[in-house]
Structure 1
């Protein structure tokens, strides 16, 4: 299961320093429909590419946004020159199938 999308980078206001991209709702629905073993916080393992950076992480369900959120670590933000509010082109592959 692979998706490509563009979404803005945002900072979690409750805990400074954490930055996320929200997975579009239609893709979140597709991810949610696949039966899988439960993991901590409802997380789903993924492989992500933003620009020239590729890494493995997890997306987490976010009922406030109606989808999943993808954490974007500082090393990637720095390497790709992205900051809060920037539109980010994301290639996401779900590893938990």
Structure 2
């Protein structure tokens, strides 16, 4: 499944503070329809995402009725994005999770 969308960057101060792109309703609903076959456990869903020409692999995870796309610091710094920035994301759902291609 391939998706394109605009997402707002948030900072979550959970047990491990991190930056995420919060998926809007439409792509989150599309992912929810395939979550059982796409997930490798705990609701995490492997994806390859591209933002401004920078591609990386990670796993989405469900949060508050949507999914969060983790933005590791190495990726976020290269993009120059921070909280409340809006990023355009091209994303392919599926595949094994691995470290970002930087």
Q: Do Structure 1 and Structure 2 share a fold, with TM-score over 0.5? A: yes
Cα shift at 1:44: 0.7
* 1:24-53 per-position Cα deviation (integer Å, ceiling 9, x unaligned): 122111111124165332011100001121
How do 1:4-23 residues align onto structure 2 when only pairs under 5 Å count?
A: 4-15=4-15, 17-23=17-23
Cα shift at 1:6: 1.0
Distance 1:26 1:37 in 2: 17
The root-mean-square deviation of aligned C-alpha atoms, in Å, is 1.7
2:92 alignment counterpart: 93
Aligned residues: 94
1:37/1:86 CA distance change after superposition, 3 Å:
closer
Distance 2:38 2:8 in 1: 30
Secondary structure at 1:26 match in 2: helix
Cα shift at 1:69: 0.7
Using the size of structure 2 for normalisation, the TM-score is: 0.81
Secondary structure at 2:3 match in 1: strand
Q: Which of structure 1's runs of 4+ aligned residues deviate more than 6 A?
A: none
1:79 alignment counterpart: 78
Secondary structure at 1:61 match in 2: strand
Secondary structure at 1:47 match in 2: strand
